[in-house]
Amino acid sequence: MLTELLAFLDELLSYLESVRDVRSEDGRPARRSPEVERLAQKTRALRASYETQDSLAVGVLYSVDLPTYDEQLAVKVPALKDHPLVDLPLYQRDVDPLFRELA
């Protein structure tokens, strides 16, 4: 099943790389989009992780910079930027508006 997946990913990548932007004047293939580049990196990492030759692939096979859970939560709950969650007053909250909204 893995060989079929890798063959499909290779075929998909070759198709995506052969697509050109018709708005391009010189007819060259369009620059790789970040999504296609990410797919190519994941395919290379998957292929390297399943190699069964004499050598073993070590190191970071795939890396992407994404915000951490704490950074995403700090955007949603601004009070977390200044204090950790354990320091926030949980029991001194007025929940009456929530109950009125649910009633």
- CB contact at 8 A, 38 and 64: yes
**Which sequence spans correspond to the domains of the chain?**
2-49, 69-102
Closest by CA to 36, choosing from 18, 60, 57, is: 18
At which residue do the structure tokens 């999504």 appear?
Answer: 35
Q: What percent of the chain has pLDDT over 90?
A: 1
Cα-Cα-Cα-Cα dihedral sign, residues 4, 7, 11, 17: positive
- Estimate the crossing angle of helix 2-18 against helix 34-49, to 10 degrees: 150
Highest mean pLDDT among 15-19, 58-62, 70-74: 70-74
Q: What is the pLDDT of residues 49-71, one digit of tens each?
A: 777 777 777 777 778 788 988 88
Residue type, 97: P
pLDDT of res. 54 = 79
- Mean pLDDT in the chain? 77
**Is the pLDDT assigned to residue 91 strictly greater than 80?**
no
User: What does the block give as tokens for 26?
Assistant: 């010189």
